[in-house]
Amino acid sequence: MVFRKLPGVSASGMGLRLSQKFMFLLFLSGLVTLCFGALFFLPDSVRLKRIFLSKTETQPVTVGSGSENDAREHLKKPRDQEHPRGMTSAKGETSTKLKTLSRKPSVSHEATEERLAGGKAQEDFTLPRSKAESASERATASDRGATSDTFSYAKFKGCLLKAPLGRDNGKPSDPRTDERREKVKEMMKFAWDNYKRYAWGKNELRPVTRNGHIGNMFGGLRGASIIDSLDTLYIMGLMEEYNDAKEWVQTSLDLNSNGEASLFEVNIRYVGGLLSAYYLTGEEVFKSKVLELGEKLLPAFNTPTGIPRGVINLGSGTSWSWGWASAGSSILAEFGTLHLEFVHLTELSRNSIYTEKVMNIRKLLNKIEKPHGLYPNFLSPVSGNWVQHHVSIGGLGDSFYEYLIKSYLMSDKTDDDAKKMYYGALEAIEANLVQKSPGGLTYMAEWRGGILDHKMGHLACFSGGMIGIGADDGAPEKRQHYLDLAAEITHTCHESYTRSATKLGPEAFRFDGGGEATATRLNDRYYILRPEVIESYMYMWRLTHDPKYREWGWEAVEALEQHCRVESGFSGIRDVYTMTVSHDNMQQSFFLSETLKYLYLLFSDDDLLPLEDWVFNTEAHPLPIVRKTCLQDKATQDKTVSI
Ligand code: DMJ
């Protein structure tokens, strides 16, 4: 039987006309496009979206920022139940696609070193965008005149005024002080030994349950307690422990993580910790690791204004704003706490890109209009405008101010913009935030669009030390005034400790509702081994040598021993006002990096890490003052000799 082909009917056997088939295909492709398109508009929590989109385009898992929401997260819920928080995506600015780079000889010093060391990157020509961008940025920077000389550790050492560890490692001549210092060293060894025994390679120790904690602040990086401890172990002369830590960095610190990290936390703990370990010891491994890590942070700055977002995927370079930060804004204490480390990344790499990134932030902040001269805590990385008018010297604002004065000091007092901005900010803080309580206590209130919140956070207690170290460099007639203010704030913070049952201070204390320097809200009563109050004691001791600061430090040691020391480490407590303590089961890495280091320095002679040569980053990692003229003179001398 012969089938006759009907006119206008396709041969496909579907029985459709060509035009009908075309219409059908058009409809089908429209439907498919619509379905995939719709995925982008689904809320980020929808599972379907996570399945269909690549990981880097979905929302990352992380916790809050280092300045206010960092470590207390674990107090709210059991760690094991931590879950993703919403974030504001910035995928528009930073592509997450893989790019194939053409083979090109590397121009960077660190890459050369890596090749010489038989490093892993030699044959890897398919790099994620983050790598690609920073490689091209690097090339641009060197085109723009990054110096060709390499960093010389010997020259750097030659430009220090004093030996970093002093004459006798800072050993005090007074036997009682020496005994106290030995006690702090024992505490460090105890904290470290337990971390090593139960949590080696994890980020923190959980001292009650005797296991490790990883968390989600560091984007898959591990060993936060190791990196944070390197310099403390070294200055305390705990050399066996320091060597274990160094070996771990050599063999196990893997920077090729692909997780979402807090730019701020990675910078202050990992970059800061590795930098100071390098400057103190001259061990090349710390330098090569920190340069490798520094490069991974650069894509966070790829925003319309160059103000980085809070969260970065260390593998892809994609960055996000914290979901809790209003309208996709960046946090002052986070993007304002990069300067010290980034200047040193430029020093070590001889690549100006790092300094350019932070100078750009500085320029924007300098230019932008400030309400009453104050710097609000939230800024849009897209428009470069403030997002709301909450000002605080505590969480969300704190270390921005600290880094202004420390940038000036670290520049060998040449960075005049930093100086001007610091004293301008301090003047505005004094005019708007500094208060005196009816009981005569000086404190820093918070400012919400002109309305004062009479609360001071533990975090804000660093400001005693900050105002103290800046006292010498403002107007000469204000020197004593600044020293007095620094002493008053430190006194108030000490009061917040003495007014509690445990003699440890709460997370936040208030000056309204009848009380003074006391937490009135239940959820402000915890203490998580934070350093800020002790940090101010240390600076005030160095500046005044008033013995009360050492006594106050010793009170803190006794309280830590009594309430925070558990069988296998140190733990934060949930309520400083009750003697039947409940432990939070967390030995924060900053306890090893800051709290114990500041205590040790408090009971040491001033020539251990002298302030003439070193500034401490906000995680207490000492960074050397950059003596440009001296370094240049030394370079000229070298040339003369070699001619
Ligand atoms: C540390 O990580 C740093 O001091 C940071 O600036 C604020 N929070 C903690 C300590 O409290």
pLDDT digits (tens, 9 = 90+) for 251-284: 999 999 999 999 999 999 999 999 999 999 999 9
Which atom, in ligand 1's list, is nearest to the CA of 70? 8
Buried b (16+ CB within 10 A) or exposed e, 191-206: bbebbbebbbebbbbb
H-state helical runs in 308-371: 332-335, 339-349, 353-367
Pocket test for ligand 1, best of 459, 528, 538 (most atoms within 8 A of CB): 459
pLDDT at 32: 55
Crossing angle (nearest 10°) for helices 339-349 and 284-297: 120
- Please name the residue whose Cα sits nearest to atom 1 of ligand 1: 619
Total domains in the chain come to: 1
Domain annotation covers residue 31: no
Domain annotation covers residue 222: yes
Pocket test for ligand 1, best of 594, 595, 596, 598 (most atoms within 8 A of CB): 594
Domain annotation covers residue 601: yes
pLDDT at 110: 28
pLDDT at 315: 95
Domain annotation covers residue 602: yes
pLDDT at 60: 27
pLDDT at 420: 98
- Please name the residue whose Cα sits nearest to atom 10 of ligand 1: 530
pTM for this predicted structure: 0.81
Domain annotation covers residue 352: yes
Domain annotation covers residue 40: no
Instruction: Report the amino acid identity of residue 431.
Output: A
Phi, psi of 41 (to 5 degrees): -95, -5
> Within a 10 A sphere around the Cβ of 128, how many other Cβ atoms?
22
The number of C-alpha atoms within 13 Å of 308 and in the hemisphere containing its C-beta is: 30
Domain annotation covers residue 571: yes
* Rounded distance between C-alpha atoms, residue 212 and residue 223, angstroms: 10
pLDDT at 101: 25
Question: Strand pairing partners for 267?
Answer: none
Question: CA gyration radius for the chain?
Answer: 27
* Rounded distance between C-alpha atoms, residue 52 and residue 581, angstroms: 48
How deeply is 322 buried, as exposed, middle or buried, from its count of CB atoms within 10 A (0-12, 13-18, 19+)? buried
pLDDT at 22: 62
Please say whether the beta carbons of 463 and 401 come within 8 A.
yes
| CA 397 to ligand 1 centroid distance, Å | 12
For the chain of 643 residues, list the mean pLDDT of each consecutive stretch of 10: 32 50 65 48 34 28 34 32 34 30 26 25 24 32 50 96 98 98 99 99 98 96 99 98 98 94 98 99 98 98 98 96 92 98 98 98 98 98 95 98 98 98 98 98 96 98 98 97 98 98 98 93 97 99 98 99 98 98 98 99 98 98 95 73 45
pLDDT digits (tens, 9 = 90+) for 195-254: 999 999 999 999 999 999 999 999 999 999 999 999 999 999 999 999 999 999 999 999
Name the active-site residue from 507, 516, 532, 535: 507
CATH classification at residue 305: 1.50.10.10
Instruction: Report the amino acid identity of residue 31.
Output: L
The closest of 268, 232, 278 to 601, measured between CA atoms, is: 232
The closest of 205, 264, 261, 222 to 79, measured between CA atoms, is: 205
pLDDT at 143: 34
Domain annotation covers residue 332: yes
Domain that holds residue 548: 135-146+155-642
The number of C-alpha atoms within 13 Å of 125 and in the hemisphere containing its C-beta is: 7
pLDDT at 29: 62
Is residue 507 annotated as part of the catalytic site, yes or no? yes
Instruction: Report the amino acid identity of residue 306.
Output: G
Question: Strand pairing partners for 126?
Answer: 100
